[in-house]
Structure 1
Amino acid sequence: MASPTEKGFFTNVTDGISCRRVLNIMVFFGFMVNYMLRVNLTIAIVDMVVPGNKTNTENLTNFEIGVSQCGHQIEHKVSNVTTVIKSEVQSVSGVKFDWDEYVQNLILGSFYWGYVCTELPGGRLAEIIGARRVFGYSMLFSSIVTLLTPLSASIGYATVIVLRVVLGFLLGVTWPAVHPMAAHWIPPLERSKFIANMMASSLGAAFTLPVCGYLIAWFGWTSVFYVTGTVGFVWSVMWFLVVFDTPADHPRITPEERSYIEEAVGAGTTTSHKVLRVPWLRVLTSPPVWAIIITHGCSVFGFFSIVNQLPTYMKYILAFNIKENGLLSSLPYLGKYLMAAFTSYIADWLRATEKLSTTAIRKLFTTIAVLLPGLLMILMIFYGCDRVGSVAIFTIALTINGAVTAGYLGNGLDIAPNFSGTIFGMANTLSSFGGFVSAYMVGSLTYNNQTYGQWQKVFGVLAATYTIGGLTFLIFGTGKLQSWNSPAAPQTERKNDVELTIKNKETIPLKKK
């Protein structure tokens, strides 16, 4: 059936654009901005701090003579590093801070202290009051926090840590909040493509890192936070103008599009505003749920390790300057988004043509997305000193990881669309611990010891983590609608669920037109 069109809002501009399409566009740019607000510090902190290893004599000598441990020429030499005792140093790019590797990773990791607190409540809150307010206000206040970051840095690193905890607390609700919105707005055969919009976060990182590299080179590190914070504020205003929780709430949706959506999602999703009670015992004892949680935790642990630490690795081990660092650090994220978009279309096509079952599709793409990066991290152990090889391996690893959109990432919508926010909140809670543990691990291993040997240990841990995640979903994952999806639904809906299970129709409630 052809998708209906939307009329009446900025008609001369948006005539012919469905409300579903507007939602896709806003979620796409929303996750780009989401990661702008998250990763801006990972590139800015490279220029915010006074470089140097103060206690490791070998590394200090290498840095002072302008050569990294891997033998690459460092563009800017710094002399008398051991005499730096001030907490702030004035430079042409602004104030620099004497924060060692431990403090830097403490700052980066503090984001996850707040992030972990709101993942599960955020998913459930979106199921109760709607994703529009949860996602929108989170992004609005996060943008304000970002604008305050330069001021907090001038006060002290403890203030930066507090602000990063608040930022994590606010952004923690965003990812799980989108799943309940998808359950109400997106037909099942379009959900992989919709979930791919969440991978615009990688595109946001791909855009932010090189742009911030040039902003730092031209205007200083403070400009990074002012620019990204302003962009986030503007997006938040637009979100509240054009996005609504359900088709029934939308004031400008056509009757045709509303009917199309509600019929498509109705079999597996409660379309009314009635709040369903979470069957916690069934959820917590469900192997498919734990397959999503564990696999997501392992995948995101690897992703966060790379996204937070790649600029540092490129500076100290590969000796790229700040502009090269930002540009090259962005390549893996660009690749990840392109892979996410491509595989999501393939997955939805495979489901629509019934060439593979939903279970087979989710397992196939999860295996590709999570197991293969683990093998590539093993290569980094042996070829991590090679500039071209390292950039190629990182880029390929994160590119392949983009296939999670066709794998486990949207699997909660397959097995329990009514509680997809809760399930993803549980998964992201574990992954948030992984983000903190990742920052702590790298900080501990490289504290005053930025050597390739220490980074080899990091790559070994990442290889093992990716492998565990891929195997877990391969064994326990499924695409079948779970019976507990409608615990308080009318008897007729329960009967429909049973019939779907008997017929082995794996949560494709779209009525064929």
Structure 2
Amino acid sequence: MATATTRRRWSDFITCRQVLNIMVILGFMFNYMLRVNLTIAVVDMMIPTNATEETRVKLMEQNKFNWTTSQKNEVLGSFFWGYILTEIPGGRMAEIVGARKVFGGGMLLASLLTILTPVASTNFYVLVVLRALVGLALGATWPSMPPMAAKWIPPMERSKFMANMMASALGAALTLPVCGFLISLSGWECVFYVTGAVGIVWSILWFTLIYDSPSQHPRITEVEKYEIETKIAQMEGGGTKNAKPEKLPLKEILTCAPVWAIIVTHGCSVFCYFTVVNQLPTYMKDVLQFNIKNNGLLSSLPYFGKYLMAVLASYAADKLRKSGRMSTTVTRKVFTTFACSLPAIMMGIQALWGKTSAISVTVFTCALFFNGAVTAGYLSNVLDIAPNFSGTIFGMANTLSSIAGWVSTKVVAVITETESTFRTWRYIFWILAGAYAFATVFYLVFGTGKLQKFNSVDTTVQGKELQPLKTKYENGKEADIA
């Protein structure tokens, strides 16, 4: 018995798919950590506009910077310059060389650049370039994940896996208060050293533990590999060969209405999300008068809610689809409507009555909580309609959303340049309400859960929605395979 015990491997206690889920959750947490660390640090990096000349001199000696509001937003917005450029190439490269290299490599490069941020900050233009390079590295990471899901996760379980990407909200929630604490403890420089080091450690673990497919994994059991590959082959191909086209069907993708339903809806939703992520700390400081420690803590509350809803909604969506109570199309539209229409209402409430801190914190928390349901809606939809080209399509969607994120910094800068008060911020909240509402309507009209013709050279199952299949197990009992 002792010999048998010593021969047991870690795979006897945790599956490779569970390890993948854990690493993806942590990966997206740290991904956003590397993105939003500057949004809280910049509050302490800048010299207050109302500071006296004597105070300015002292603060500059303490490595504080005399930036204008436009310069601050230029630093925050520069991330998107690079982020936009690698979205589509990153998704396509993940389809060709695998998500392991693309996601892990992007995270490692961004982590190394983050550690260099304090040195780069001594020159404003060097800092802008460095943040653009961080965006360049992280831009490829998000669209690389759907191709990973297409190889590792059976179709009826993919909503839950895509919810792991919403751990980015959890990362933002944890990063904001932690950064506030680090700043109060050791200054803003410490933020970049700590977050960069965490990213490097995660990257090493990623390349050690994760592989692009079950067939490539050296430690996976035959049982787990057979289960994953059989479910994917049977459900996506209906028992037939589901061959991926050798060339990218670019024309078919660009002229596909369901593809644009995902792209446009994602662009509107993330425009709103980026506006909140990048600007909420400033709003709380300028309008609600929170100090930096409370700023980080209270700014984090909406993101905890977003992740919680992502998990709950995705679990519900997969259960509804698997049971047959809802088709894939209906499921995606119901959850997208829920995720975008309710935040639109919340932003309207914020524009009308959000001058008090209690109402603002409640509204932002509820808005992002409801928006977390996108994982069960359009975010998982790319794997329904074209799993073979999910990286390219998601890259297109993230490109638009990245442009929208850059635009959001400009919109806020223009509206609040001369006056950062509740009166000026109301215009921003109405814009967010309109963007959420438009996303809802657009997806309801053009969205679908049907597998698209261009996904495969085998058209025997095209135009059909994925349904749970039945299979015979070795014990002779018939059961759902997913």
Q: TM-score range by the shorter chain?
A: over 0.9
- Indicate whether 1:42 and 2:9 are aligned: no
Structure 2 counterpart of 1:243, from 192, 210, 214: 210
Match of 1:127 among 62, 76, 95: 95
Partner of 1:352: 322
How far apart, CA to CA, are the structure 1 residues paired with 2:324 and 2:278? 40
Instruction: Work out the CA distance in 2 between the residues paired with 1:22 and 1:13.
Output: 10
CA offsets, 1:172-202, max 9 Å, x none? 0111000001000000111011000000000
CA distance in 2, matches of 1:262, 1:423: 23
Q: Please state how far the C-alpha of 1:11 moved relative to its aligned partner.
A: 5.2
Q: Which of 149, 172, 178 is equivalent to 1:211? A: 178
Q: Is 2:314 the counterpart of 1:337?
A: no
Does residue 454 of structure 2 align to residue 494 of structure 1?
Answer: no
Moved more, 442-451 or 477-486: 442-451
| Equivalent residue in structure 2 for 1:276, among 223, 228, 246 | 246
TM-score, scaled relative to structure 2 = 0.93
Query: What residue is the counterpart of 1:429 in the other structure?
Result: 399
Q: Does residue 233 of structure 2 align to residue 266 of structure 1?
A: yes
* Residue in 1 that maps onto 2:111: 143
1:99 to 67, 73, 76: 67
The residue type equivalent to 2:183 in the other structure is I
**C-alpha contact 1:203 1:333 (8 A) present in aligned 2:** yes
* Inter-partner Cα distance in structure 1 for 2:151 and 2:441: 31
Cα separation, partners in 2 of 1:238 and 1:204, compared to 1, 3 Å: same
Tell me the equivalent position of 1:506: 466
| 1:258 alignment partner AA | K
Show the counterpart of 1:447: 417
Describe how 1:327-476 pairs up with structure 2 within 5 A. Answer: 327-476=297-446
Q: Does the CA contact (< 8 Å) of 2:73 and 2:409 recur in 1? A: yes
2: distance between equivalents of 1:100 and 1:337?
34
Change (3 A) 1:428 1:212: same
Give per-residue Cα distances to partners, 1:395-452, cap 9 Å, x unaligned.
1101111000000001010001001111100100000000100011111111232122
Q: CA deviation at 1:157?
A: 1.3
Mapped to 1, the partners of 2:6 and 2:144 lie a distance apart of: 25
Q: Distance in 1 between matches of 2:388 and 2:28?
A: 23
Q: Quote the offset at 1:272 in angstroms.
A: 10
Task: Give the conservation status (yes or no) of the 8 Å contact 1:50–1:96.
Answer: yes
Q: Tell me the residue number matched to 2:474.
A: none
Structure 2 distance, partners of 1:276, 1:194, is: 27
**Residue 152 of structure 1 pairs with residue 120 of structure 2:** yes
The farther-off stretch of 210-219 and 300-309 is: 210-219
Per the alignment, residue 60 of structure 2 pairs with: 89
Q: CA deviation at 1:298?
A: 0.1
Shift in CA distance, 227/352, structure 1 to aligned 2, threshold 3 Å: same
Q: Percent identity?
A: 54
CA contact (8 A) 2:32 2:168 kept: yes
Deviation per residue, 1:464-490 (Å, 9 max, x gap): 11111111111110111111111xx3x
Amino acid paired to 1:206: A
C-alpha displacement at 1:510, in angstroms?
Answer: 8.0
Aligned equivalents of 2:95, 2:469: Cα separation in 1: 20
The residue that corresponds to 2:139 in the other structure is: 172
Cα deviation for residue 222 of structure 1 reads 0.6
User: Matches of 2:438 and 2:6 in 1, distance apart?
Assistant: 49
2:477: which partner in 1? none
Question: Partners in 1 of 2:5 and 2:79 — Cα distance?
Answer: 41
CA distance 1:87–1:371, shift in 2 (3 Å): farther
Deviation of 1:89 after TM superposition, in Å, equals 1.4
Q: Counterpart amino acid of 2:64? A: K
Matched residue, 1:26: 23
Q: Is contact 1:188-1:509 (8 Å) kept?
A: no
TM-score (norm. length: structure 1): 0.87
**Residue 76 of structure 1 aligns with which residue?**
none
SS at match of 2:64: strand
Structure 1 residues 328 and 337: CA distance shift in structure 2, 3 A: same
1:234 corresponds to which letter in structure 2? V
CA distance in 2, matches of 1:275, 1:494: 12
Assess, with a 3 A threshold, how the Cα gap between structure 1 residues 317 and 228 changes in structure 2: closer, same or farther: same
Per-residue CA distance 1:120-177 (angstroms, 9 max, x = gap): 11000000000000001100111000000000012x1111100010000000011100
Letter aligned with residue 128 of structure 1: I
Task: Report the CA distance shift for 1:369/1:47 in structure 2 as closer, same or farther (over 3 A).
Answer: same
SS of match in other structure, 1:248? helix
Contact 2:322–2:467 (CA under 8 A) maintained in structure 1: no
Conserved 8 A contact 1:48-1:97: yes
> What's the offset of the Cα at 1:88?
6.2
1:206 and 1:243 mapped to 2: Cα distance?
Answer: 26
Q: Could you say if the C-alpha distance between residues 272 and 174 of structure 1 is closer, same or farther in structure 2, counting changes exceeding 3 Å? A: farther
- Amino acid of the structure 2 residue aligned with 1:80: T
SS at match of 1:22: helix
| Contact kept in structure 2, 1:415 and 1:481, CA below 8 Å | yes
CA displacement, residues 195-224 of structure 1 (integer Å, 9 cap, x when unaligned) = 000000000011110011111111111111
CA contact (8 A) 1:337 1:399 kept: yes
Q: CA deviation at 1:51?
A: 1.6
CA RMSD of aligned residues (A): 2.2
Secondary structure at the aligned position of 1:448 is classed as coil
Query: What are the Cα deviations for residues 474-509 of structure 1, in whole angstroms up to 9, with x where unaligned?
Result: 1110111111111xx3xxx432x24xx3xx443657
Note the C-alpha offset of 1:242: 0.6
* CA contact 1:265–1:510 (8 Å) conserved in 2: no
How many residues are matched? 467
Structure 2: tracts of 5 or more residues without a match: 472-479
Q: Which residue of structure 1 aligns with residue 475 of structure 2?
A: none
Q: Distance in 2 between matches of 1:428 and 1:167?
A: 16
